[in-house]
Amino acid sequence: MKKWLREPLVHFLLIGGLLFLLYGLKNDGMSDVPDRIVITRASIDHLSDLWERKRQRPPTDEEMQVLIEAQIREEVLYREALAMGLDRKDSVMRRRLAQKMAFITSDLVAQAEPGEEQLAAYLVAHADRFSQPGHISFEQIYLNADRRGGQAQDDARRMLALLNTPDSPDDAAVMGDRFMLGQSFENVTLQQVAQLFGKGFAEELFVLPVDGWQGPISSGYGLHLVRIHGKSSPAPLQLEAIRDRVRDAWREEQRQAINESFYQGLRQRYEIVVEGRTPGTSR
């Protein structure tokens, strides 16, 4: 069974069967005759099971009758509300019903168990999502652009020229302005650098070579001269180490694909008319 559930063709067959069941058994055991309500044996058993799970004992005959009457009351009021179009006038109810329909195929995907070959292929196809991030170690000299004004770029160029000569000072930090985040950073990822300095700074930093002082690079704080001490590239992870993550991602992708196919099957049942719009326009 698990092997069959992994096959995409089976997914589409299940969608077709789901559509048939949805429209053939849409009242969950209730008769689809407008003026007839049938409480099936399955519905009664379900009510009894829910009671027993909550109270740790089966319901008495009197309690069961109360449950059935409550079910009948709910069905009567539900049908009358639909007849009055209350569902169409309640945006919250419409949204909840739409969400319920959107989740109706989730159980199909929950039953699907991908094989090793499928997981391995998925990992290869999405290697960028499942890789060990690259790391970088660097130090920086900060120049406060607000304080230095129009001289900031010229000051940065002069400092850079001095830093890359034999006469450069032993303590390069004294050349720059005070920076609250510090001067040296060891084995940090691109994401961590982006959180500290901004995405643009991080992306520019990671493409620089390990080769003396460089820059200046701009950040939200100002200008920075940087010297990279070491850098590693992202590396793919082995399936054995992240099997659960890959399986969850595979299932989510399958769920989205099946839900979309299910929706498209439903949508084809309708003629869609959008009043007041010309095809090809955004208004």
Per-residue pLDDT at 37: 80
pTM for the full model?
0.46
Per-residue pLDDT at 24: 46
Per-residue pLDDT at 234: 76
* Cβ atoms within 10 Å of 155's Cβ, excluding its own: 19
Per-residue pLDDT at 30: 47
Extract the residue ranges of the chain whose pLDDT is less than 70: 1-34, 89, 101-112, 167-173, 272, 274-283
Per-residue pLDDT at 226: 94
Per-residue pLDDT at 214: 92
> pLDDT by residue (tens digit) across 4-53?
445 554 555 555 555 555 544 444 444 455 577 888 888 888 889 999 98
